[in-house]
Amino acid sequence: MFGWIIPPPKPSKKSKGIFFQERQRKITSLKRMGFLKSKALEEAMLKIPREVFVPFNYRDHTYEELPFPLPGKKATISCPHSYPMFYEAIELSPGDRFLEVGTGSGYGAVLAAEIVGPEGLVTSIEIDHDTFLYAKKRISLFKYPNLFLVKGDGGKGYLLNSPYDKICLTAACNKIPPPLVNQLKEGGKLITPFEVYGKSQDLILLEKKADGKITKRSIEKVLYVPLQGEYGR
Site for ligand SAH, rule CB under 6 A? 72, 74-78, 101-102, 104-105, 107-108, 125-128, 131, 153-155, 170-171, 225, 227-229, 232
Using the minimum distance from each CB to ligand SAH, give the nearer residue, 167 or 225. 225
**Which of 135, 115, 15 has the alpha carbon at shortest distance from 75?**
135
Q: What is the DSSP letter of 83?
A: H
CB 214 within 8 A of CB 206: yes
**Which of 22, 17, 138, 26 has the alpha carbon at shortest distance from 77?**
138
Nearest distance from C-beta of residue 18 to ligand SAH, angstroms: 22
Nearest distance from C-beta of residue 210 to ligand SAH, angstroms: 29
Using the minimum distance from each CB to ligand SAH, give the nearer residue, 51 or 153. 153
Nearest distance from C-beta of residue 157 to ligand SAH, angstroms: 10
As a whole number of angstroms, the distance between CA 44 and CA 147 comes to: 15
**Residue of this chain nearest to ligand SAH (CB atom):** 104
> Phi, psi at residue 77, to the nearest 5°?
-85, 125
Nearest distance from C-beta of residue 127 to ligand SAH, angstroms: 4
Q: Is 93 a catalytic residue?
A: no
Catalytic residue among 15, 78, 140, 200: 78
Provide the β-strand partners of residue 202: 194, 221
As a whole number of angstroms, the distance between CA 215 and CA 187 comes to: 11
Nearest distance from C-beta of residue 155 to ligand SAH, angstroms: 4
The β-bridge relationship of strands 164-169 and 184-195 is parallel
Using the minimum distance from each CB to ligand SAH, give the nearer residue, 128 or 195. 128
Residues in the chain: 233
Using the minimum distance from each CB to ligand SAH, give the nearer residue, 182 or 209. 182
Using the minimum distance from each CB to ligand SAH, give the nearer residue, 19 or 132. 132
Query: ∠ CA(76), CA(40), CA(24), 5° rounding?
Result: 65
Residue numbers annotated as active site = 78
